[in-house]
Amino acid sequence: MKPFALVLLLLFAPVALPAAPLDEADLPKIVQHLDQLFRSSSSQAEVEMTIQTPNWERTLTMTLWSEGMNKTFIRIHSPKKDQGVATLRIGQEMWNYFPKVDKVMKVPPSMMMGSWMGSDFTNDDLVRESSYLDDYEVRYSAAQPADPNLLAIDLIPKETTASVWGRIKILLAKSGWMPQSETFYDEKGNPQRRMTLANLTRFGQRLVPAVMEILPLTKAGHKTTIRYHSAQFDVSLPSETFTLKNLQRR
């Protein structure tokens, strides 16, 4: 760049005004909002999951049921080769059912960090019961986003919290505190994966992101995208939903 052009650039560059101070009193409210975003006494949702790798791509359709923070049930409807595969989680215990061999397999602790159905979600992602408010120390990130409409917070696991992450950084809108992305760091401070949330959709009385994308930052060409097609919250579910008997039901 010519010296004269550089001088003009510096003279007419916009002046950065100081950002409004972040209110520490808002932190517990923000985290509580994030905790409750997808949680309810019970829920049922129709979901599509697309898994992409450098060598193949496939899409699963499934129904998800949940009860509080302790119970999850998932049944896959397509593709045909996976039809009927089901997962049950009760507390920290987890089982998978494979209809082709008509067998229920309990997931051992050593497999909790393994991939669920070949996706970038782990078995541990499905059984986590952690509450951001109860299990993490929260603070505003030292590096705030340049966009004045966004803010960033850091979640640090408490000493009593069992977590594979050293830190979780959440980017969210200042208005409404709707999350935009979550970046997960290991204990050495290296980013390992990023989840983005988009397509705000109203399901009943609740406004939530209907699309979530997991991008592992250490595996080039891998991505998992979840799309909620419908969701109901605080619904009445049959008592046998979260049972091993239901797991084997065709």
**Mapping DSSP to helix (H, G, I), strand (E, B) and coil, where does residue 34 land?**
helix
pTM for this one? 0.83
Cα separation, 39 vs 234, whole angstroms: 9
Residue type, 87: T
Q: What is the pLDDT of residues 68-99, one digit of tens each?
A: 888 999 999 999 999 999 999 998 899 999 99
What is the longest distance spanned by two Cα atoms in the chain? Answer: 78
How far is CA 172 from its chain centroid?
14
Instruction: Report the run of H or E that residue 182 belongs to, with start and end.
Output: strand 179-185
Residue-by-residue DSSP string for 12-33: SSPP-PPPPPP-GGGHHHHHHH
Cα separation, 220 vs 191, whole angstroms: 14
Which domains are seen in the chain, by residue range? 22-247 (2.50.20.10)
Q: Quick one: tokens of 151? A: 């803010």
Token pair 């009445």 is found at 236
Q: What is the pLDDT of residues 170-197, one digit of tens each?
A: 999 999 999 999 999 999 999 999 999 9
